[in-house]
Structure 1
Amino acid sequence: MDHVRQDEGRGWREAAEEALYGPEGFYRGPEGPAGHFRTSVHASALFADAVAALLCRVDAALGSPPELAFVDMAAGRGELVTRVLQVLPAGVAARVRACAVEKAERPADLDHRIEWHAAPPEGVTGLLFANEWLDNVPVDVVETDEDGAARLVLVDADGAETLAAGPLDELSRRWLDAWWPLPAEPGLRAEVGLPRDTAWAAAVGCLERGLAVAADYAHARGARPPFGTLTGFRQGRETAPVPDGSCDITAHVALDACAVTPGARIVPQRAALRGLGVRAGRPPLALASQDPAAYVRALARAGEAAELTARGGLGDFGWLLEPVGLPGGDPLGALLVDVADDEEQ
């Protein structure tokens, strides 16, 4: 970056908040997220099927409570919660309180059984699932100046950046020291994940008992990217991040910094989904002659499973698992077994 700005400006957190969620923001558009990028939810119904299976595990661990909540954070247009309701066993579905949490308006054609909230409901028992939510919680960006000092990056509506003249605030500096320390080399960048830590802690705090899961593309403290990850997406393509409401603005998540409960753990999505029954194995060739239609369906499912669990793609997403007041027994035991299996492959 060429120069340090002396006047007031907006950091990326403030600029992205307005660009994404303001009155004319990106997420207010009628097409929803699916109109611009492909998440695991949009890639295959197998993802929702796995989430439904996880909800059933949580239900069993909780002793089948009279009301079982499923809270879909950053619900988009309700695609995930709708599918989960459709595939749950009837006995479980009859007890489910389905809640979609989203800042955009409720879709007119959404299933009447689904509640629509701007924030997660308090004191619920069940499963809170946040698929690609935290990456869209806006964060400030910092960059080391020519002397190696970390400065806040300021941005205008056209995406042009400058460095703030003053030092970082104390909370941001402490977070960086703890979770993303920057060497004193010019031009290095980091995203200050404190707003995501706070947002996730609040979401987990809404659970009285159950499990909270954040699924997102992430990095760990020992392998933070030296130049940050801030980027934009528009109509299925990556683009320069411009905070004018025309594109998504996103950055990878420091999931390890977000964890709040003593039993929290992070597993790769490929391992979590395999533990929930999503397998990419090719169907037996004999099925092609015995039942060609069934073979084609099985082959399609295998292809979708491969996309959801692929290394270098969606399978590398992290799942942050946060148990809250779960009684004896571990509903995630099979996931952990699968993690071990996955590491041996």
Structure 2
Amino acid sequence: MTWRTAMERALYGETGFYGRGERPAAHFRTSVHASARYAEALAGLLATVDEALGRPPRLHLVDVGAGCGRLLMRILDAVDPELAERVDAVAVELAPRSPSVPERVTWRSVLPDEITGLVIANEWLDNVPLDVVELTPSGPRMVLVDPATGAERAGPVPSDEDLAWVERWWPLRALGDRAEVGHPRCNAWASVLHRLRGGLALAVDYAHGRDARPAHGTLTGYRDGHTVPAVPDGSCDITAHVALDACLDAGATAGATGSTLTTQRRALRALGLTGARPPLGLASSDPRGYVAALCQAGEEAELIDPSGLGGFGWLAQTAGIELPSALTA
């Protein structure tokens, strides 16, 4: 079958990885699990969006691909109590509601029809299934995969839609080059912007740009904290890096009034996370405070490490407000 079909079944089918209720935290480390400082930075972004919208009576905070809901709960804990009272928190997630999620958080499997506020898609788009096209001696061909073993072979000619996307966003230059055809992700992201009546939509993910696409793709499996072969049999999470530049274009077409593409390192540093060690003198005057500050510095350093989480792409697009200055710094 095609990779898109295989991924869909392996991730979201009845016996698929997420279909049976697996949680990301059990299999790989994300910024959400690395430190509460990540949520605190996003809480500051929520406050900025609230101010830009004129402090409306109700403000949406939507987490797409919410997992166990930890990010939403940490953001709510970090914002000013008055703002927290006005926030309608929505978790969009296919897995069942976690028992730890408070009743004030709305749990649903699809996006709200209209959103005014902040939408966060943290490592969501990399799990949107897609097809793979390879340049063969006979021209571009779909890559077919055996879901039980991961074995591949060349298949039919790609659709016109696939070929148009590949030509524009991931040109194939040499025999054996592969493209992960990202228009399903573009469409998924556009569906967020179509619903955004005012505010900010933020996608955070593994990413690459048109001038640096990996020649052989990025399909990867994750299980129990380790990378494993991307076999679409439902036994592991399967991801592929995101062409966020293409998603930006789709969001602009869907109505975004402001757009920027940056890295997590740049964005979080602008939001106040520096990873700087506390002054050594604090160790004598306030040993406990020094240890706490040192732990915080370590967590921030992990979040902004350019070779790790700090290298993630941040795609921010707005509707009806200016882009926050921290995201354009």
Q: Same fold (TM over 0.5)?
A: yes
- Matched ranges for 1:222-301 at <5 A: 222-259=211-248, 260-261=251-252, 262-301=257-296
Instruction: Name the aligned partner's letter for residue 79 of structure 1.
Output: R
Per the TM alignment, residue 109 of structure 1 is displaced from its structure 2 partner at its CA by: 2.7
How many aligned positions are there? 322
How far apart are 1:31 and its partner, in Å?
Answer: 4.7
Equivalent residue of 2:54, what SS? coil
Any conservation in 2 of the 1:74–1:100 contact (CA below 8 Å)?
yes
Question: Which of 143, 147, 161 is equivalent to 1:171?
Answer: 161
Q: Secondary structure at the match of 1:55?
A: helix
TM superposition shift of 1:279: 1.6
State the match for 1:104 in structure 2: 95
Q: Deviations over 1:221-250 (max 9, x none)?
A: 111111111111111111100111100110
The match for 1:203 among 192, 196, 199 is 192
Q: Where does residue 332 of structure 1 map in the other structure?
A: 324
2:146 to 137, 152, 156: 156
Contact 2:317–2:323 under 8 Å retained in 1? no
Instruction: Report Cα offsets for 1:56-99 as digits up to 9, x if no partner.
Output: 00001111000010000100010100111111101100000000
**What SS does structure 2 have at the residue aligned with 1:26?**
coil
- Classify the secondary structure of the residue corresponding to 2:98: coil
Task: Check if 1:221 corresponds to 2:210.
Answer: yes
2:18 partner SS: helix
CA pair 29-44 structure 1, distance change in 2 beyond 3 A:
farther
Equivalent position SS for 2:176: coil
The answer as to whether partners of 1:71 and 1:100 remain within 8 angstroms in 2 is yes
Match of 1:7 in 2: none
**What corresponds to 2:35 in structure 1?**
44
Instruction: Give the partner amino acid of 2:15.
Output: E
Answer yes or no: is 1:119 the counterpart of 2:110: yes
Q: CA deviation at 1:29?
A: 4.4
Deviations 1:309-341 (A, max 9, x none): 001111111110000111xxx45113323xxxx
Task: State the AA in 1 paired with 2:229.
Answer: A
How many percent of aligned residue pairs carry the same amino acid?
53
Look up the match of 1:5.
none
Secondary structure in structure 2 of the residue aligned to 1:258: helix
Question: Paired residue for 1:341?
Answer: none
Q: What is the match of residue 340 of structure 1? A: none
Q: Contact conserved, 1:61 with 1:331, CA < 8 A, in 2?
A: no
Structure 2 Cα separation of the partners of residues 18 and 30 of structure 1: 14
Please, which runs of 5 or more residues in structure 2 have no aligned partner? none
> Which of 166, 182, 185 pairs up with 2:172?
182
* CA displacement at 1:107 relative to structure 2: 1.3
Shift of 1:108: 2.2
RMSD: 1.1
What is the aligned partner in structure 2 of residue 86 from structure 1? Answer: 77
Deviations 1:119-140 (A, max 9, x none): 1112121000000000000110
Residue 125 of structure 2 corresponds to 134
State the SS of the aligned residue for 1:27.
coil
Q: Which amino acid aligns with 1:112?
A: E
Contact (CA 8 Å) 1:130, 1:213: kept in 2 or not?
A: yes
Separation of aligned partners in 2, 1:335 and 1:286? 34
* Contact 2:260-2:328 within 8 A present in 1 as well: no
Matches within 5 A, 1:314-333: 314-326=309-321, 330=322, 332-333=324-325
Match of 1:343 in 2: none
Does the alignment pair 1:35 with 2:30? no
> Tell me, what secondary structure is at the counterpart of 1:256?
helix
Partner of 1:304: 299
Q: Distance in 2 between matches of 1:284 and 1:28?
A: 48
